[in-house]
Amino acid sequence: MSAQVKLESDGVRLAFYNERMKRRLLVLDGIDLTVFTGELVAIVGPSGCGKSTFLSAVDGLVKTDAGSIKVDGHAVTAPGPDRAVVFQQDSLFPWYTVMRNVTYGLELQRRLSKAEIAERGATLIELVGLTGFAEHYPHELSGGMRQRVNIARALAPDPELLLLDEPFAALDAQTREFMQSELLNILARAKKTALFITHQIDEAVFLADRVAVFSARPARVKEIVTVDLPSQRGLDVKLNQRFRELHDYLWRSIQEEAVRTPIAIGAS
């Protein structure tokens, strides 16, 4: 891992106007976080603490009120081709085939020719292990397959930074574990830097090089835990003693915050 900075979030503050409470609600209260090139950083924290909001801010979908977010030294003001999101929900376009979903970003960019786009699409479909399903529609696929398409779609424009917003939350436990190790394979092959949001502590420990714990809302980075497990991980690492220790440590850390969390309002 080189020590080159990919993402730098410096004192990011963000408030939303809350309709129900008729006042502005501070969601992010100065997020300081650095992600290095090639790293996978997971963000965990109590429900409703602002993890997803932070990810949206990094993507450029929401504006921050103070502080700065820089990707490769450039300030983020709007979504750009250097970042891509693997969304939480089943967000594939149901009216497009797997192929059209995967190449969606490329088609919008109008940078490549039709043939190049088709070729890149086919490569990515193969990368995520869906060869033969290019002409299927999302409703014909299982949940796990759909999230593979979702990952391929995010990878297509060749982003520098991959943002994953609880991509496996809706999958059953078995599929989720399988997809976790698949994600590690895919990321290793695609050589990407990734920021990963999750509710599942074991998922965070399994996937991440470092885990950032967000405090209760308004969120700050409470602590950053380095996962000192071998970087080549198989699912059996979850049986490892050190894995258990890290898991339990993070669990306590989040639990401390969770009891301080006011009633969750809106999405996390």
Task: Give contact residues for other proteins (rule: CB under 8 A).
Answer: 59, 61, 78-81, 84-85, 87, 89, 91, 93-96, 104-105, 108-109, 137-139, 157
Nearer to other proteins, 52 or 193 (CB): 52
Nearer to other proteins, 88 or 253 (CB): 88
Nearer to other proteins, 108 or 264 (CB): 108
Nearer to other proteins, 68 or 109 (CB): 109
Nearer to other proteins, 85 or 201 (CB): 85
Cβ 84 to other proteins shortest distance, Å: 7
Cβ 124 to other proteins shortest distance, Å: 14
- Strands of the 74-75 sheet, one edge to the other: 23-36, 5-18, 66-71, 74-75
Nearer to other proteins, 71 or 213 (CB): 71
Nearer to other proteins, 63 or 260 (CB): 63
Q: What is the 3-state secondary structure (H, E, C) of the chain?
A: CCCCEEEEEEEEEEEEEECCCCEEEEEEEEEEEEEECCCEEEEECCCCCCHHHHHHHHHCCCCCCEEEEEECCEECCCCCCCEEEECCCCCCCCCCCHHHHHCHHHHHHCCCCHHHHHHHHHHHHHHCCCCCCCCCCHHHCCHHHHHHHHHHHHHCCCCCEEEEECCCCCCCHHHHHHHHHHHHHHHHHHCCEEEEECCCHHHHHHHCCEEEEECCCCECEEEEEECCCCCCCCHHHHHCHHHHHHHHHHHHHHHHHHCCCCCCCCCC
What is the rounded distance in angstroms from the CA atom of residue 117 to the CA atom of residue 105? Answer: 10
Cβ 102 to other proteins shortest distance, Å: 12
Cβ 32 to other proteins shortest distance, Å: 24
How many other CB atoms are found less than 10 A from the CB of residue 184? 18
Cβ–Cβ < 8 Å for 167, 146: no
Cβ 141 to other proteins shortest distance, Å: 11
Cβ 8 to other proteins shortest distance, Å: 20
Cβ 137 to other proteins shortest distance, Å: 5
